[in-house]
Amino acid sequence: MPDVKLEIQMLHDRVMVRISPEDGERRSSGGIVIPATAQMAKRLAWGDVHGVGTNVRHVKVGDRVLFNPEDQYEFEVQGATYLVLRERDVHAVASERSDHGTGLYL
């Protein structure tokens, strides 16, 4: 298949998210490297929205969302891994919206 850019339209209240690359290996405040495989308390992740369904009201393409990555469906498109979640599974939205103050909605 040639290198063609696919346009994916999500359905209903679904959101297509790509996990941010910095959510892998982390550093503690003391400088210790914590690998992505380290088991910790349930950790939420930030991701970038790449598609939204027709019934999604509070999230748009380009927003960063906070969600639990362990309870979602994962799929791959042209070598990139994405997650599908419902809008109600989004805990917060960080965007460049200037009409509501800070841009972080919890």
Annotated domain spans of the chain:
14-105
Give the integer Cα–Cα distance in Å for 90 and 102: 18
Render pLDDT for 13-54 as a digit per residue (tens, 0 to 9): 899 998 866 555 566 667 777 666 655 567 788 899 999 999
- Summarize pLDDT for 70-102 with one digit per residue, the tens: 778 888 888 888 899 999 999 999 866 556 555
Please give the CATH architecture assigned to the domain spanning 14-105: Roll (2.30)
Q: What is the pTM of this model?
A: 0.68
Q: Which of 90, 10, 93 is nearest to 52 (CA)?
A: 10
